[in-house]
Chains A and B, each alone.
Chain A
Amino acid sequence: EPEVTQTPSHQVTQMGQEVILRCVPISNHLYFYWYRQILGQKVEFLVSFYNNEISEKSEIFDDQFSVERPDGSNFTLKIRSTKLEDSAMYFCASSRDPQETQYFGPGTRLLVL
């Protein structure tokens, strides 16, 4: 069964460093999303992406964040200068259609020291 994959599973970085989180969505899906979950809290929407453009972004998704689809399979989230409060689990999700179920990847656990 096709699934969303994410790499790395864990990332530890120093405050101020750039990180890139990678995702491979399900192959016939066209709509891509990033969510984050701070430890012990609920999952929060960051950004949606379609047709090589950001469709919608939340207040969390400020200038330090960017997303890109560098090739036909990968979808990346970049945090330019990480802050302590960026420590969280980051989930990538994809769907075939905006109204269809979003399938989530296993997440990348980011720890900023």
Chain B
Amino acid sequence: AQKITQTQPGMFVQEKEAVTLDCTYDTSDPSYGLFWYKQPSSGEMIFLIYQGSYDQQNATEGRYSLNFQKARKSANLVISASQLGDSAMYFCAMREGGTSGTYKYIFGTGTRLKVLA
């Protein structure tokens, strides 16, 4: 079973508009973390935002916010006022505990966002 599901392989948004990228997750661990990374065409992975499972408020970082709905197991990324430079692949990831006490990330399949001028 998929632990991280991103159902939108591709999205378009008009410049200056807001866009929501969907992410649902599956875990039985009460303590977990959810992350969004941006991957531009150059290939690097850029950390955007983090939400902890016990955080009471939705995370925000500048134009990025995370719409965290714990009961629905969703952690959608909202980008406000889209810019042309936001065009990239976006990955949702979940921190999952291992038996060793270190944590690995499980990634979704990504959503490719294209911002239109």
Among A41, A50, A91, A104, the residue within 8 A (CB) of B102 is A50
Asked whether, in the complex, the Cβ of B47 is within 8 Å of the Cβ of A104, the reply is yes
The CA-CA distance from A64 to B43 in the complex, in Å, is 25
Total contacting residues, chain B, CB less than 8 A: 26
Residues facing A in B54-106 (CB within 8 A) are 91, 93, 95, 98-106
Asked whether, in the complex, the Cβ of B47 is within 8 Å of the Cβ of A42, the reply is no
Asked whether, in the complex, the Cβ of B43 is within 8 Å of the Cβ of A98, the reply is no
Asked whether, in the complex, the Cβ of A43 is within 8 Å of the Cβ of B44, the reply is no
Decide yes or no: A33 and B108 within 8 Å by CB, A43-B91, A91-B45 being known contacts.
no
- Which one of B42, B44, B46 has the greatest number of beta carbons of chain A within 10 Å? B44
Residue A73 at the B interface, CB < 8 A? Answer: no
Q: How far is the CB of B65 from chain A (nearest CB, A)?
A: 17
- Nearest to A58 among chain B residues (CB) is B104
The CA-CA distance from A43 to B94 in the complex, in Å, is 12
Asked whether, in the complex, the Cβ of B98 is within 8 Å of the Cβ of A56, the reply is yes
Decide yes or no: A106 and B106 within 8 Å by CB, A43-B91, A99-B33, A101-B35 being known contacts.
no
Contact residues in B for A50 (Cβ distance below 8 Å): 100, 102
Q: How far is the CB of A35 from chain B (nearest CB, A)?
A: 7
Other A-B pairs beyond A35-B105, A89-B43, A101-B50, 6, CB < 8 Å = A41-B109, A48-B102, A48-B103, A56-B98, A98-B102, A103-B47
